[in-house]
A = this chain, B = another copy of it.
């Protein structure tokens, strides 16, 4: 019971000196599918070195403020959903100690996913989730974990809608679920489920210039969702 001993003896506790990084898996969804933001931090020899969006925690920062800073840097707006995954611990590259990394995942709408030239110059790029990438062990395992978690969470909550535009069609929503879960779903049953739950509101707008019957646009019904969420629900696909 170090904690107590120090306190009793009136000694100022020695801080553990371990590096803590925040690593964010930033997701985005467009016509091509689910995408993740990676950053290429070239080494001295200009070798490619792709990794998650990350930073160390600085003086005076919390884990939340640091993860928000990272998102702000790459997305440039406050309009995103973010949630902590968990803490990961790995052998440090810098010492014999363990490095601790706190993983986050963020969901960004397509309209906020355009990368500025500055960011591109920094090496930021969106990757399709199924493109095989050579990430280091740490980032690879955080990414894998975030995907498993994302699959779970979109079935047990409405967070998936954070990846859709403000106004979306029901088929867009269905394709999102299909892509992330890797399953094929049924149009009419999907509609019925979403409507029955009252998860969306009709916005009285339609697609334009499409070569088929124009689909209605809907928006996510947050008020109703929060009522549902309190009691807990789940989509079974």
Chain A interface residues toward B at CB < 8 A: 1-4, 7-8, 12-13, 15-21, 41, 43-44, 54-64, 84-87, 89, 94-98, 100, 102, 122, 152, 155-156, 232, 234, 236
Contacts and interface: CB of A to CB of B under 8 A. Distances in A.
Contacts of A152: 232
Given A86-B86, A232-B152, A16 B20 contact: yes
23 contacts: A1-B122, A2-B55, A2-B56, A3-B21, A3-B41, A7-B41, A8-B44, A13-B19, A15-B17, A15-B95, A16-B18, A16-B59, A17-B17, A18-B18, A20-B100, A57-B98, A59-B97, A61-B98, A63-B98, A63-B100, A84-B86, A86-B86, A234-B234
A195 to B, nearest CB: 20
B4 A41 contact: yes
A56 B3 contact: yes
B1 A41 contact: yes
Contacts of A61: 98
